[in-house]
Amino acid sequence: MDDQEQAAVVVGASGGIGAATVRLLRASGRFAVVHALSRSETGFDLEDEASIAEAAARVAEGPPPTLVFVATGVLHHGFEPERGYRALGAEHMLRDYRINTVGPALTAKHFLPLTPRDRRAVFTALSARVGSIGDNRLGGWHSYRASKAALNMVLRNLALELGRTHPQAVVAGLHPGTVDTALSQPFQREVRPERLFTADHSAERLLAVINGLTPADSGGVFAWDGARIPE
């Protein structure tokens, strides 16, 4: 990075991975400001586009963001992941799409115009390995899988479009592994202890992945160890 002032934006800063990412970014000293956005702290609501636009307007008053990290997602809150198609329900599916797909897409709509065109900038969002169509061998978890697969398509679209105007930009999805947060707690029984990460460890690994991404990687989804996840 050069010595120009730059900002980072973390959406979902009150969650486990989001909060850990904010701490690491602030400790790094790389950014003039790290904007920590969440519904509980700043009124940023992925289901309310007006709140997203208001947050972008506040960010626009300072240094341009060269990192926007959407560290949000929903899996089971109020619903159990569907084990089979008989459990499908419109309310569950639409909720997952609103938070896992539409919210990050609208965040990109309002924050990508703030990123500089003359240097590297990264827009990334938490995806999931189970959102991979090519890697799906088990089925089930219909709403979560489908909403993350749709997010991956949104990210690919954004990468193609942004590449025409921001040649150094990177857009990518990130799979954090199984992290010891509220999202994964009901499903940790089958996870080997060495594969259950703390939020700090996951955030550290994800930031390392982000730092290693190039424009040639834009549009892809990458796991916490840097491996590209099949589409």
Q: What is the DSSP letter of 228?
A: B
Q: Which phi and psi (to 5°) does residue 127 adopt?
A: -110, -150
Q: Give the model's pLDDT for residue 77.
A: 75
Q: What is the mean pLDDT of residues 13-35?
A: 96
Q: What is the pLDDT of residues 204-226, one digit of tens each?
A: 999 999 999 999 999 999 999 99
The span from the CA of 37 to the CA of 169, in Å, is: 22
DSSP 107-148: HHHHHGGGS-SSS-EEEEEE--GGG-STT--S---HHHHHHH
Dihedral angle sign, alpha carbons of residues 229, 104, 195, 217: positive
Q: Is the pLDDT of residue 37 over 90?
A: yes
Structure tokens at 103: 């919210």
The span from the CA of 97 to the CA of 189, in Å, is: 27
Q: Is the pLDDT of residue 19 over 70?
A: yes
Of 15-29, 83-97, 136-150, 178-192, give the lowest mean pLDDT range.
178-192
Q: What is the mean pLDDT of residues 55-62?
A: 98
Q: Give the model's pLDDT for residue 189.
A: 57
Q: Give the model's pLDDT for residue 1.
A: 42
- 59, containing H or E segment: helix 49-59
pLDDT bracket for residue 185 (50, 70, 90): low
Q: What is the pLDDT of residues 107-164, one digit of tens each?
A: 999 999 999 999 999 999 999 999 999 999 999 999 999 999 999 999 999 999 999 9
Q: Give the model's pLDDT for residue 191.
A: 57
